[in-house]
Structure 1
Amino acid sequence: MSTVAKRALIAGLRWTSLRLRLVVVFALVALTAAVSVAGIAYWLNREAVLTRTQDTALNDFRQSMQDRVAKLPSQPTQSELQLAAEQMAALSAKPGYSVLLVDTREAGKPVVAYSDLDAFTLRDVPQKLQEQVNRKQPITAGNAHPYHLFWMRTNLDGAPYLVGGAKVIGGGPTGYMLTSLRQERDDLSSLAWSLGIATGLALLGSALLAQAAATTVLKPVQRLGDAARRLGEGKLDTRLRVSGTDELADLSRTFNRTAAQLEKKVQDMSAREEASRRFVADMSHELRTPLTAITAVAEVLEDEADSLDPMIAPAVHLVVSETRRLNDLVENLMEVTRFDAGTARLVLDDVDVVDQVTACLDARAWLDAVELDGERGMMVRLDPRRLDVILANLVGNALKHGGSPVHVSVRALDGELVIEVRDNGPGIPADVLPHVFDRFYKASASRPRSEGSGLGLSIAMENAHIHGGDITAANSPDGGAVFTLRLPRDLESEGRNDDAQVRGQS
């Protein structure tokens, strides 16, 4: 996957992540609210349904115990108990219940009557409930009766039931009732399903609402991001359409004001830079004519220096040296202005690199001070004049600051031409290294008046860039500074074949 594709994917994930977070937050809030409401509603309805069914059955059972069981003889027979149990079950309020009556005769010989022997027996009554029903309560100010009606909910064969029991006060049978809560369970299950469906619909609705809200919020943010990217690409006339009075509208207005101020400042800076560049170019051009004349006079004076008064000769040599330095500075300034104006062009030719390096060194009488490592026959298509400028600056800088011998190696690596210039000096200080290619930068601020103009290495870098290459500076582990020039071996394949359009200008 390419770098651009990865960046686009990361940007898409970030954008989706914010939308996802909004949807998740909305969904969680809605889910929490829906589950809370559904839980409370279910609990309230459950208690209401079970309480209503239970109260109806227990009240009817209590009344039946008073109306029928309490009127039985003190020691009813089995048939009398059986008839009472059947009548109570038959006349019970809907949904109806089964009845079990127990009367005690002798210890361990109770008389038991069932309304439905298959549905309800004494084994179905929890032991704990039997103990509560038969336990005699003390009579107190808050308790007027020794026996009370007790009940509990239980499961029989996996089904819910309500079991209740009471004892006739004053001596008499004990009665138990059993009624099914299956219908109530089914009704509550239906209610739970309904509440679950409602919760799901609420969750879905909240997700759709969150999606709409996210779109409403993120669309202006996305437009703002796109506008910021266009602004960063240099399209300073980018503006946002503003509507509304909310915070996003205020942010858009702030962006527009900032973009307008930035555009104005950039225009002002561009105008000042253009004026400064034009001034340097005009000044350099205007200085060439008088410099040409001064240089000619200086050369005549230099030829006659030996015949001049010994007191005047040093001044003549100083004038000649400074004139040449001024001439180099003007030429460098004109070269810089061409790079800044974008008018610098390549004049390409097929060049034997080692021969070109040798010619550069020979023209400046540096052959004895430089060790050249490279094989002839390495043909590269480039601008020989600009390569000469690069080499002259790099080698001259190495000789000036590192002394001889300077080692120059030429080789081809991975489709690149690599020229390395290494000296034997103390190296480049760490605080100077990042600035060696800056214009007018000099390592010693206390010596602003040195032989160099501070433009040589920056011009070398510009000439490397126009070839599509680069120059790096570093310190060798063995001592000394190392400048490495890298140029593409085939400029035509790099889309930089300017030969046809500039041959007529050379």
Structure 2
Amino acid sequence: MGLRVVTIALTATLVILLVFGYLLVHQITDGILESKRSASVSEATTSLTRLQQQLRSTDLRAGSLYERLNQLADDAARQSGQYQVIIESPVSGLVSGGISVESVPPELAAKVAAGEGIWTQPTTVLYADPDRPHTPGIAVGSTLWAPGQNRGFPIYFIFPESDEAATLAMVQRVVISLGGLILLAMGLAIFLSTRQMSRPIRRASIAASRLAGGHLDERMPVRGTDDLARLATSMNGMAAELQRQINELEDLSSLQQQFVSDVSHELRTPLTTVRMAADLLIDSRDDSDPDMVRAAELLHDELGRFETLLSDLLEISRFDAGAAVLALDPCDVSALVADEAEAARPLANSLETPLVVRAETEAIADVDARRIRRIIRNLIANALEHGESRPVEVTVAANDEAVAVTVRDHGIGFEPSQAEMVFVRFWRADPSRVRSVGGTGLGLAISLEDAHLHHGWLEAWGRPGRGAQFRLTLPRRADQPLSHSPLPSSPDESGVEVTTSTGARRLPIVAAASTRENRS
């Protein structure tokens, strides 16, 4: 901000200096030239009167008129030293003293020839000596009348402006130098002022950044009673209120987490008792009473779902409390996927859903096998439940950096805007849909937390009517950050082509299950 303010202020100052400098130089130039013109006319008028008197007192019988004119021109130029004289003669042409006759502007010559009077015209003084530089000047023209003759001779007084030109050059140098000094002084003053004014703003920005980073005790010093002091006071008040509310939310969150954990733990004992009673009912059920048999089976199934829900709640509470830890070991992720796919084959058969697994022969990574199995189990069960009995494809690939697993179904799918919502706890794309697998609504949320614990990615892709795909990407080494995944985040409908460290290739099918194929 400081650089932008200084740049804008200096640009405005430079424009102002240029305008006023131009006007000042223009006024000084006009004044000097006008003074020179007036002095030149006055000097030429006096010299013309003197020459006219000398010419009238000349005895033309003792010499030639034209010689006398030449002599008068040279004498006038020599006596003055401020101008040169040119007298036009019809016999010998132009009589001049040290300058070229081309110094007379044609416009001035036309005015002098047209009538009596004294005329002035700016000109360029051209000297007879070719080595002498040209200079600007003023030409004053009039008529010199010969005695006893009714005719006149045009006469021109050429006034060089060398001194005036030097004065104007000096004025321009002074104006430019003074303007540069003013611009430099203004830049320094603006920089210091801007720095002084922006210092509290920078402190406010630093304080806001530290507040955003979690340093809720950060405060700004308050000095004076100006607007910046009021800004600091407002910032401090906002920080104090924010700290109070965040502390309240943290306390409330801690109470909620503790409540969930305590309730989950306390429910385990009565749940175990109820489970034992349900098992006893199942074992002693009378097949002759179908209603009792159905009631015992429902009780047994719902108790299993309740136990799973309690386990998930306890796991979520550990994530919320930051108590979840990893037990890392080198594991073959392909083998973990194959094991979970094999465990899910009875569910796939019951849903008449083909389950296809494509995996590399080896995909070793430092992972917590229990948590990775849980992620894969949740993704496969979710795909089978929403796959609408269409094939579910599980793919594993690896490169030098990461191992990736994708689970693809071709079922109901979801909107692209719901790709992040699927990981929200207890969220359902269709609330009216009944779970066929009996999930708790926490599976994907727990899977996302497990992936984050491994510093990995868990991403979702979906389109209505085209199914969904979940991609899990894990670093091969625990201390290695991820930059890309071996598998694409969206499915390739023409086939699964994977770019690994050794190039692009189609992964082999290592396991498949299909009730329809078995029946055929």
The residue identity in structure 1 corresponding to 2:14 is L
> Could you tell which deviates more after superposition, 311-320 or 443-452?
443-452
User: Aligned equivalents of 2:243 and 2:109: distance in 1?
Assistant: 93
Which of 447, 455, 468 is equivalent to 1:481?
468
Matched residue, 2:399? 413
Give the structure-1-normalised TM-score: 0.79
Whether 1:134 aligns to 2:110 is: no
CA RMSD for the aligned pairs?
3.5
Partner of 2:256: 276
Does 2:366 correspond to 1:397? no
Given the superposition, is the C-alpha separation of residues 51 and 320 from structure 1 closer, same or farther in structure 2, using an over 3 Å criterion?
A: same
Match of 1:258 in 2: 238
Offset of 1:59 from its aligned partner? 1.2
Q: Which SS does the other structure have where 2:428 is aligned?
A: coil
Alignment of 1:160-179 (within 5 A): 160-167=136-143, 173-174=152-153, 175-179=155-159
Write the distance in 2 (CA, Å) between the matches of 1:446 and 1:29. Answer: 68
Q: 1 CA distance for matches of 2:291 and 2:86?
A: 147
CA distance in 1: counterparts of 2:168 and 2:360, whole angstroms:
95
Aligned: 1:29 with 2:12: yes
**Counterparts in 2 of 1:188 and 1:274: CA distance versus 1, 3 Å:** same
TM-score (norm 2): 0.77
Select the residue among 264, 268, 272 that pairs with 1:292. Answer: 272
Moved more, 310-319 or 70-79: 70-79
Equivalences for residues 357-368 of structure 1 within 5 A: 357-360=337-340, 366=346
Query: CA offsets, 1:339-359, max 9 Å, x none?
Result: 110111122334444544454
Match of 2:186 in 1: 206
Report how far residue 298 of structure 1 moved.
0.9
The range that moved more, 214-223 or 168-177, is 168-177
Report the AA paired with residue 128 of structure 1: E
Shift of 1:287: 0.9
Q: 2:432 aligns with which of 426, 431, 446?
A: 446
Q: 2-side partners of 1:190 and 1:121: how far apart?
A: 28
Cα distance in 2, alignment partners of residues 359 and 89 from structure 1:
120
Alpha-carbon separation, structure 1, partners of 2:397 and 2:50: 120
d(CA) in 2 for partners of 1:492 and 1:162?
Answer: 89
Moved more, 476-485 or 161-170: 476-485
CA contact (8 A) 2:103 2:124 kept: no
Q: Secondary structure at the match of 1:177?
A: strand
2:445 to 428, 433, 458: 458
Question: Where does residue 468 of structure 1 map in the other structure?
Answer: 455
Cα distance in 2 for residues equivalent to 1:375 and 1:39 = 80
Name the CA shift for 1:244/1:329 in 2 (closer, same or farther; >3 Å).
Answer: same
The answer as to whether partners of 1:75 and 1:172 remain within 8 angstroms in 2 is no
What's 2:123 paired with? Answer: 154
Count residues with an aligned counterpart.
459
Amino acid at match of 2:33: L
Shift in Å at residue 281 of structure 1?
A: 0.9
Equivalences for 1:337-416 in 2 at 5 Å? 337-360=317-340, 366=346, 369=349, 370-374=355-359, 378-402=363-387, 403=389, 406-416=392-402
Unaligned runs of 5+ in 2: 127-133, 350-354, 483-520
Flag the 1:302–1:76 CA change in 2: closer, same or farther, 3 A: farther
What are the Cα deviations for residues 468-503 of structure 1, in whole angstroms up to 9, with x where unaligned?
2222223499954332322223336679xxxxxxxx
Q: Answer yes or no: is the 8 Å Cα contact 1:69–1:84 preserved in 2.
A: no
Residues 180 and 263 of structure 1, relative CA distance in 2, 3 Å threshold: same
**1:219-257 superposed Cα distances (whole Å, 9 cap, x missing partner):** 333333333322222222232223345544444443333
Q: SS of the counterpart of 1:436?
A: helix
Q: CA deviation at 1:291?
A: 0.7
Pair 184,360 (structure 1): closer, same or farther in 2 beyond 3 Å: closer
Q: Do the aligned partners of 1:69 and 1:173 also contact (CA within 8 Å) in 2?
A: no
Instruction: Answer whether contact 1:70 1:168 (CA < 8 A) is retained.
Output: no
SS of residue in 2 equivalent to 1:236? coil
Provide closer, same or farther for how the CA distance between residues 474 and 111 of structure 1 changes in structure 2, counting only shifts above 3 A: closer
Please give the alpha-carbon distance, in whole angstroms, between the structure 1 residues aligned to 2:365 and 2:102: 108
Partner Cα separation in structure 2 for residue 406 and residue 299 of structure 1? 34
Q: Distance in 2 between matches of 1:269 and 1:329?
A: 26
Give, as a single letter, the amino acid of the residue that structure 1 aligns with 2:98: A
In the alignment, structure 1 segments of 5+ residues that lack a partner are: 1-17, 137-146, 496-506
Give the secondary structure class of the aligned counterpart of 1:408: strand
SS at match of 1:54: helix
